[in-house]
Chain A
Amino acid sequence: MKKLIVTALAAVFAVSSLPLTAQDAQKEIERYRQLLADGNPAELLEMRGEALWKQKRGPKNATMEACDLGLGAGKVAGVNAVLPRYFADVDRVMDLESRIVHCEITLQGFTMAELTKRPHSLAQSERQTDHEALTAYVVGQSRGAKVNVPQTHVKEQESFLRGEKMFFFKGGPYDFACATCHGVDGQRIRLQDLPNFQKADNAQRAFTTWPAYRVSQGAMRTMQWRLLDCFRQQRLPELEFLSPASIDLITYMGVKGKNGVMDAPAIKR
C-alpha cells in the first residue's frame, strides 16, 4: 500500500512539474525571472567599469572623469535616461555608447579604429570588453532615473522621425521590419515575449531594461548589441557599431519609452 502511495505521489509530482503547455512554460519562465533578479553579475562589470572610468588611460594619460555625457562635464548620474541627445560640440545626436567613445578619443587620445574594432565580447567565454564595462558603469548610475529623451533640438526631432520610419522598414529575404515583431500586442517568438513599441508600458519596460546581463550568454549586452542582434535575426546585413541608423532607432525607442524608470543593467534569460 505504502509503495503504491509513494508511486502515485511521485507520478503526480512528476506530471505537475512538467510544463504541459506554452502557458505553463510562461509561468515557469516568470518564476525563473524572479529567481534571477536576486544577484546580477552585471554589477561586477559595473564595478570594473567604474575603476576604468577613473583610471588614467590612453596616450593622453587622462581619466574619463571630465566626460560630458549630456548633463555637463563630469556628471554621470542619470545620463542614460536622457540619451540619445544633441551635442553642440559635434553638432549631432549621439547615443550613450557613441558619447563614451567620443570622450575616450578626445580626453584620452584613443583612435576611433581601435575603439570600434571589437566593442562586444562575442566569442564563447570571452572576457567582457572595456567598452561593455564602461557602458555598464554609466548605465548603472542611472538606476531610478525617469526616461526623458529630449526632443527640443530640431536634430533630436529629426532623429526620432528617421528612427520611426526605419522601425517600419521591411527589408531582406524575410521582409521583416522592427514593427513585424514589435508592433503588435501580446506577440512572442518561441517563448520570448516581444514588447510592442506602440504601447507606452511595453516601450518603457524594454527601454529601461537594456543593457542587460544575458544569462544564456554569460555576458552583459549593450543597446548597440541588442540592435545588432535584432537585425541579424531579421536577415538584414550586419549593423555598424555606432551607426547613424542605430542612434536614430535608440532615439525612437527612448521617446516611446518616456517616463519609464531606468533599471539597467537588468538581467535576462
Chain B
Amino acid sequence: MNKKSVIGTSLILTATAVLAGCVAMDAGNKAAPVAKAPTDAEIVALLKASFKNTPSAGHNRLDQSPLQKACTEASRTGKPVDDKVRISLQEAAMASVKYPADGKYLGDWKKGEAIAQNGRGLQYTDAVGAASGGNCYACHQIDKKEIAHGNIGPTLWNYGKLRGGPTPEITKYTWTRIWNTHAFNACVNMPRFGDAGILTEAQIKDVMALLLDPASPVNQ
C-alpha cells in the first residue's frame, strides 16, 4: 500500500469514527437539551415573582445599583472588580457622603452603644419609618464587655485610643466609613449606614461617640 492510500484510508476511518460518534451522541442526546445559564434580567424577574411587594419592603429593593451589580459579579466569579470600575465606584461613594452641617461629629456614646446593640429596622416585619439600629455587634467586637459579638468585621475595641482620639482626620475618616464604606474600598461587606438611610445623622453621631469619645467604654 502506498503512503497516499494509507493516509487516505486512515482519514476515512477517522471520519467514519467521528460520524459514528456523532450519530450515537445525537441518538442518545436527542431528548436532552443543554442547561441554559440564567441572564441577569431573568434573575431579577424571578426574584420579583418570588417576593411580596409591601410598603415595609418593596420590589425596589430587588433593583440593583451599579455598585451592587459590580460587587455581585465579583463575588460570584471570584474575579475582583476591574480597577477602573472600582475607582469610579469608590469616587461615587465618596461623593455621596454627607457631613454634619453643624460641624459636630460626636453625640452620646451611651446612645451609640444602644444603637450598636439594636438589630431592628428596615425588615419587612418592622414598621415603616420606625428607627433602625446599627446592629454593629452582629459583625464587630466593640466594647470588650460585650462578648456576644460577631467576627465578620475587624475589632473596634480601643478604636479611638489606638488612633490618637477624635482628631479632625480620624473623625472625618470614621464618619465617611460609617456613611459609605465603599468610599475607601468598593465591595466590602459593611452596609452603607448613611447613604442607604439606615441610620440618621444623629444616630451616626452617637455611634461616632462610642468609637471616638475618650470617655467611651470602648476607649478605656
Contacts and interface: CB of A to CB of B under 8 A. Distances in A.
A188 interface: yes
B47 to A, nearest CB: 6
A95 to B, nearest CB: 13
B150 A187 contact: yes
Given A157-B35, A189-B152, A240-B50, A175 B192 contact: yes
Nearest to A169: B72
A241 to B, nearest CB: 10
Contacts, number: 151
A177 B72 contact: yes
Nearest to B36: A158
Given A161-B37, A171-B68, A243 B49 contact: yes
Given A19-B147, A189-B139, A166 B47 contact: yes
Interface stretch (A5-13, A98-106, A136-144, A231-239): A231-239
Nearest to A243: B50
B123 A232 contact: yes
Given A170-B75, A190-B137, A235-B122, A245 B35 contact: no
Nearest to A152: B32
A161 B198 contact: no
A170 B72 contact: yes
A174 B52 contact: no
Contacts of B38: 158, 161-162, 165
Interface in B31-65: 32-38, 42-43, 46-47, 49-54, 57-59, 61-64
A166 B62 CA distance: 11
A177 B32 CA distance: 32
Given A25-B148, A181-B152, A245-B50, A174 B191 contact: yes
Nearest to B195: A173
Given A170-B68, A237-B124, A190 B35 contact: no
Contacts of A237: 51-54, 57-59, 61-62, 124
A70 B49 CA distance: 26
A235 B61 CA distance: 8
Contacts of A20: 147
Interface string A153-187: 01001100110111011111111110111011011
Contacts of B147: 19-22, 24-25, 191
A228 B192 CA distance: 23
A240 B196 CA distance: 25
B58 A190 contact: no
B5 interface: no
Contacts of A238: 51-52, 54, 57, 124
A7 B101 CA distance: 57
Contacts of B36: 158, 161
Interface of B is mostly: loop
A246 interface: yes
Given A187-B152, A243-B49, A158 B35 contact: yes
Contacts of B46: 162, 166, 244-245, 248
B87 interface: no
A245 B68 CA distance: 19
A19 B145 CA distance: 11
A190 B152 contact: no
B67 interface: yes
A232 B75 contact: no
Contacts of B76: 164-165, 168, 179
Interface string B12-33: 0000000000000000000011
A58 B68 CA distance: 47
Given A19-B147, A235-B61, A237-B54, 11 more contacts: A165-B37, A169-B64, A170-B68, A172-B62, A176-B191, A187-B150, A189-B138, A237-B52, A238-B124, A239-B50, A245-B49
Q: Which 9 A-B pairs have the closest CB atoms?
A: A245-B50, A243-B50, A157-B35, A168-B76, A237-B57, A237-B51, A172-B61, A173-B196, A238-B52
27 contacts: A165-B37, A168-B76, A169-B43, A170-B64, A171-B64, A171-B68, A172-B61, A173-B198, A174-B122, A174-B191, A174-B198, A175-B68, A175-B71, A175-B189, A175-B191, A183-B75, A188-B150, A189-B139, A190-B149, A191-B147, A235-B61, A236-B51, A237-B51, A237-B52, A240-B51, A240-B52, A244-B49
Interface of A: 19-22, 24-25, 154, 157-158, 161-162, 164-166, 168-177, 179-181, 183-184, 186-191, 231-233, 235-240, 243-246, 248
